[in-house]
Amino acid sequence: MTADKEKKASRHNMMAKKSDRRAFLKGMSMAAAAGSAALTAGCIPSVEAASSEELQLRWQEFFKKNYRLMTQQEKDATVARLERLAKLRNDLDVQVGSYPPLENVLYGYAFNITRCEGFMECVTACVKENNLDRKTNTQYIRIFEMEPGQLDPSTGDGQYYHEVPVENAFYMGTQCFHCEKAPCTRACPTKATWKEPDGIVVVDYDWCIGCRYCQAACPYYGRRFNWGKPEIPAKELTTRQHYLGNRIRPVGKMEKCTFCIQRTRKGRLPACVEACPTGARVFGNLLDPESEIRYVLRHKKVFRMKEELGTQPKFWYFID
Amino acid sequence: MAKILLLPFILLAFFLSFTVTAASEKSFLDVVKQSGDTFDTRAVVLVKVVTKETVLSKEEDQRGAFRVLARKRQIERYKCSSCHSGKAVTARRGLELSHGDIVLEHGSDGRGLSCIDCHHADERDYLEDKKGRKIDLDHSYQLCGQCHFRQKRDWLGGAHGKRLANWAGERVVYNCTTCHNPHSPRFEKRFPATYSVPLD
């Protein structure tokens, strides 16, 4: 029903509008849908494999704009298409959101290196919440076991697996630091990654071409690449998703921590903060003088990693 | 000729503009520091409503009173006075009711705490601090804070402990005993929940 309507509407638009390049391409592609399997091999399956509805949705998805250029109407449309595609392709009922940032909010994060004991419950919570690929063991968060006297995680052990906490060691977690002057966003050739007004650095997965320049530009190893199609057990899928957040990434895209944008924009804590058994993680609004994060910045001894680079991360480490 | 004379000035102006921009380069922290207006966190529409039982704190943080997870419901055999009432207990139930399962590892080695260092000796439904104040089990931070005053200060401010579910909305925090077993408060050693593979 709605697909039919959309079809009609798009046809109507094509007739009414002056033909620009995008519309022309869209028209062309629709007309050529049946015969163009060879041309699009790789992105689109053979015609026999997919229903006509799915094919149409995919074409429309292929020619959508960058998220930042979309009107709310267009965002709603693409979100509806993504939900329908998830149902058609994998029989998954997901709710993809595209809700905007809250006003007067700038997210900040603090990590207590005295309190963290390396239980890594944050990591499992993150993997589950953000629908990360279980096959390649993708993780946004890394916890390093550090020797006293060191503060650079590259000197620590990021692959420990033994009973924790160990005597005479401390634990330091890293993830995307959501830099105010994020080098990754400047490296992107397709403007597929940017900083949102609430400070969250996001990726438009459909505009990412997978060149990994951003990964090379990030001094904190905050970005991850999808080498394959993410494999997630259907039972463990987080169905509340956000367009810029935990929706299932296509193969060959860049992804990263989004401060759980799908949660935090609804007032919830990120999954890692909620899961932390020791209370080592503090999250809040930097623009609220009475928030916990501002208390930490005011009263605790804080530092940021590689501050000399001038990237201005919104992620602080502190000690008790 | 005139153009050539002007050139040094143009260059000078060019470099000056650079230094000026460098000096006035702003950090987002300037904006953060200037944000004087209190953000109304209760205006944020929450999707996750806290359904656990909470009590209003008896002490205040920077915003005033906040909510703390309740404790008494979690204690299996509360009220304590239902047994500690002077009435006789049959020998058969003695073992079950004598708290033999509690391991007390609290306080430094050699001079650890005993039961009545925290529990009220007479009114068993309450705790008692060193000044003799009767303390409700839902407000144990008042008791813990007499020794762990640094932790209590940080807990009130938000640098120790954690909030429940939401960063916005009314502040609901874990109480001391949500995370710490009061009888042996240090976390036990255990294996991590997962492991990491090398980065690609």
What would the pLDDT profile of B110-140 be if each residue is shown by its tens digit?
Answer: 678 888 889 998 888 999 999 999 999 999 9
- The model carries a pTM of 0.82
**Which residues in chain A have Cβ-Cβ distances shorter than 8 Å to B192?**
118-120, 143, 160-161, 164
B64 at interface of A, judged by CB pairs closer than 8 A:
no
Is this prediction's ipTM beyond 0.95?
A: no
Ranked by mean pLDDT, which of A26-40, A265-279, B87-101 comes out on top?
Answer: A265-279
> What confidence tens digit (pLDDT) does each residue in A184-195 have?
999 999 999 999
A287 CB neighbours in chain B (<8 A) are 31-32, 35, 39
Q: Does B31 touch chain A (CB under 8 A)?
A: yes
Instruction: Select the more confidently predicted residue: A140 or B92.
Output: A140
Query: What H or E segment, with its residue span, contains residue A170?
Result: strand A170-174
CA distance B125 to chain A (A): 28
The counts of H helices and E strands in chain A are 10, 12
Residue position matching structure tokens 């959508």: A64
Q: What is the pLDDT of residue B55?
A: 92
Which of B38, B149, B162, B164 to probe by mutation at the A interface, max A CB count within 10 Å? B162
pLDDT at A54: 86
Pairwise CA distance, residues A121 & A276, whole Å: 6
Rounded distance between C-alpha atoms, residue B164 and residue B171, angstroms: 8
Question: For strand B134-135 and strand A301-303, is the pairing parallel, antiparallel, or unpaired?
Answer: unpaired
pLDDT given for residue B23 in this prediction: 47
State whether B160 and A320 contact (CB < 8 Å): yes
Kindly list the residues from chain A whose CB atom is less than 8 angstroms away from the CB atom of residue B28.
106, 180, 199, 286, 312, 314
B21 part of contact set with chain A, CB < 8 Å: no
CB contact under 8 A, A269 and B165: yes
Contact assignment for A268 to B190 by CB distance below 8 Å: no
CA–CA distances in Å: residue B80 to residues B77, B127, B181: 6, 11, 18
Token readout for A276 is 């932390």
Query: For residue A37, what pLDDT band results from cuts at 50, 70 and 90?
Result: very low
DSSP B81-147: GGTSSS----HHHHHHHTTTT-----SSTTS---HHHHB-SS-TTSEE-TT--EE-GGGTHHHHTTT
- B41–A291 C-beta distance less than 8 A: yes
Q: Which of A142, A268, A299 is nearest residue B166 as measured by Cβ atoms?
A: A268
Q: pLDDT grade, residue B49 (50/70/90)? A: confident
B65 touching A (Cβ < 8 Å): no
Contacts of B32 in chain A (CB under 8 A): 106, 108, 286-287, 294
Work out the minimum CA distance from A232 to partner chain B, whole angstroms.
16
**Residue A123 touches partner B, C-beta closer than 8 Å:** yes
Query: What distance in Å separates the CA atoms of residue A55 and residue A43, rounded to the nearest whole number?
Result: 11
User: What integer pLDDT is reported at residue A171 of this predicted model?
Assistant: 94
Tokens encoding A232: 């997630």
Q: pLDDT tens-digit profile of A149-159?
A: 888 888 989 99
Give the mean pLDDT of A50-78: 89
**Of A106-115, B13-22, B167-176, which gets the smallest average pLDDT?**
B13-22
Predicted local distance difference test score (pLDDT) of residue A285:
93
Residues of B in contact with A161 (CB under 8 A): 191-192, 195
Q: How far apart are CA A171 and CA A277, in angstroms?
A: 14
Establish if A143 touches chain B: CB-CB under 8 angstroms. yes
Determine the Cα–Cα distance for residues B33 and A259; give it in Å rounded to an integer: 22
Least confident piece of the model among A247-261, B40-54, B85-99? B85-99
pLDDT of residue B3: 60
| Burial class of residue B113 in the structure, from the number of CB atoms within 10 Å of its CB (0-12 exposed, 13-18 middle, 19+ buried) | middle
Average pLDDT, integer, range A31-43: 46
What is the per-residue pLDDT across B141-195, written as a single tens digit (0 to 9) for each? 999 999 999 999 999 999 999 999 999 989 999 999 999 999 999 999 999 999 9
- A256 DSSP β-pair partners: A223
Mean pLDDT, chain B, rounded, equals: 83
Give the list of residues 6+ apart from residue A152 with CB closer than 8 angstroms, or none. Answer: A305
Residue A20 — pLDDT band, cuts 50, 70, 90? Answer: low
Mean pLDDT, rounded, of chain A: 86
**Is A269–B195 a contact, with Cβ atoms under 8 angstroms apart?**
no
Query: What tens digit of pLDDT does each residue of A202-234 get?
Result: 999 999 999 999 999 999 989 999 988 889 998
Does A113 contact B at CB distance below 8 Å? no
CB pairs under 8 A between A and B: 165
Burial class of residue A183 in the structure, from the number of CB atoms within 10 Å of its CB (0-12 exposed, 13-18 middle, 19+ buried):
middle
Contact yes or no for A292 and B157 at CB 8 A: yes
pLDDT band at A18 (very low <50, low <70, confident <90, very high): low
Residue B61 identity: D
Reported as a pLDDT band with limits 50, 70 and 90, residue A182 is very high
Nearest by CB: B194 against A123, A279, A320: A123
